[in-house]
Amino acid sequence: MTSFSLGEQLQDRFLERAACIGIIGQGYVGLPLALIFADAGLRVIGFDTDPVKVDCLNAGQSFIKHIGPERIRSGVDSGAYRATGAFDELEQCDAILICVPTPLGPHREPDNSFIHRTGREIAKRLRPGQLVVLESTTYPGTTTQELLPILQDGSGLIGGRDFFLAFSPEREDPGRGDYTTRTIPKIVGGIDETSTRVAVSMYSTAISKVVPVSSSAIAESAKLLENIFRSVNIALVNELKTVFDAMGIDVWEVIEAAKTKPFGYMPFYPGPGLGGHCIPLDPFFLSWKAAEHGRWARFVELAGEINTSMPEWVVGKTADALNDQGKSVKGSRILILGLAYKPNVDDDRESPSYELISALMKRGAIVDYCDPYFPRMARTRKWDFGLESVPCRNDIFRSYDAIVVATAHDEFKDQNLYRELRLVVDTRNILVPGRIPAETPWLVRA
């Protein structure tokens, strides 16, 4: 059978909702994706190497706060969705989507080993007429230069002829209300025209707008451009924060004023540093790959340098403010408000709060944290503080020498929480000017 007719057959299966979708990696990206395909009437199998996650999902439970367990339960109960660790079941799948982690190594080098391992698992079972799509964020060229050879060598099949292969970047933004996995437009770039067409028809079953591009490298690069754009603009406003601070100018008020311009300006906000799985890491995929081509991605490196220096800047401001009160950091009791990297989510990956805690502890402070989304601090790859959240109450806050607001959770917006405190260091502009209780004499923006 020609690749064209294999592709037509597969497209028909998607159109008739007769296809089975396999999604490898049931985390922040893979799970919501699985659920929208199940909602669209397709059969979905979620693959994960973590048996605890698999059991939890099959029992209809959620381990991600913004994904309600009722959505998982409805998928499991209707038979549309189930999770498994048995990779032999990949054979049943018409499409296989890869949503595994792509971390950076200790020297900020991309670690694509999860993609490679997954590729080898797929290759062992790959059969003619299947579609494979990589969704994990990576540098340009991964799909054709790394995944394609792994799939071909392990299966003896030829990509574009016997099976189809594409890249489609995930744009998941946990906790977002205005756009969902279904309504965020999805970019798709195949290794050839048929792969793109087949992948577009697969995503169109569940996603409102699918945007085909001419190659997998364009799709890989578009994802990096989006994240570098954010990283660079956040770095710009973080740097301006330090400049305006030295001039005695409030950067938050400057931004509010600038954003009244109806065109040519888009507000970005400063903070204690970058967090999340994407923005602190993904830009370095490009700078690493650029070096291979004899190029420097200077904006990426500079933005990284500025953004990663922010926790130290906040600690410096805290130390100065304590000093003004005749106190040292050493021995002071300091409370970090918020462990999550952004408001109202239970996601603490790469959160700058950990850097703040570590830097303050190194200077001898006695540090606690408060975050209703994290009653207990889990051990991460880098950190193991073993702390528990203190209650979010004014009488508790009052017992600290300093409160550092690191996350703008809604729970922290009650201005009464900040009554009669000794020192508040606000990195998120959460204390509303004019509404700050008069009894709070020490407010520092950082």
Tell which one of 136, 201, 427, 429 touches ligand NAD (CB under 6 A). Answer: 136
Tell which one of 114, 268, 341, 412 touches ligand NAD (CB under 6 A). Answer: 114
Nearer to ligand NAD, 11 or 351 (CB): 351
Tell which one of 6, 29, 187, 232 touches ligand NAD (CB under 6 A). Answer: 29
User: At closest approach, how far in Å is the CB of 278 from ligand NAD?
Assistant: 5
- Residue 99 appears among annotated catalytic residues: no
Tell which one of 48, 350, 368, 426 touches ligand NAD (CB under 6 A). Answer: 48
Q: Counting contacts by CB under 6 A, is residue 27 touching ligand NAD?
A: yes
Q: Counting contacts by CB under 6 A, is residue 118 touching ligand NAD?
A: yes
Q: Counting contacts by CB under 6 A, is residue 28 touching ligand NAD?
A: yes
User: At closest approach, how far in Å is the CB of 167 from ligand NAD?
Assistant: 11
Phi and psi at residue 9, in whole multiples of 5°? -60, -45
Q: Counting contacts by CB under 6 A, is residue 25 touching ligand NAD?
A: yes
Piece in contact with ligand NAD (CB under 6 A), picked from 21-29, 72-80, 355-363, 373-381? 21-29
Q: Counting contacts by CB under 6 A, is residue 174 touching ligand NAD?
A: yes
Please count the residues of this chain forming the interface with ligand NAD, following the rule CB under 6 A.
26
Tell which one of 11, 112, 137, 318 touches ligand NAD (CB under 6 A). Answer: 137
Q: Counting contacts by CB under 6 A, is residue 146 touching ligand NAD?
A: no
Q: Counting contacts by CB under 6 A, is residue 192 touching ligand NAD?
A: no
Q: Counting contacts by CB under 6 A, is residue 285 touching ligand NAD?
A: no
Catalytic residue among 56, 99, 278, 370: 278
- Chain positions 391 to 430 lying near ligand NAD, rule: CB under 6 A, are none
Give the interface with ligand NAD as residue ranges (CB under 6 A).
Answer: 24-30, 47-50, 53, 99-102, 114, 117-118, 136-137, 170, 172, 174, 277-278
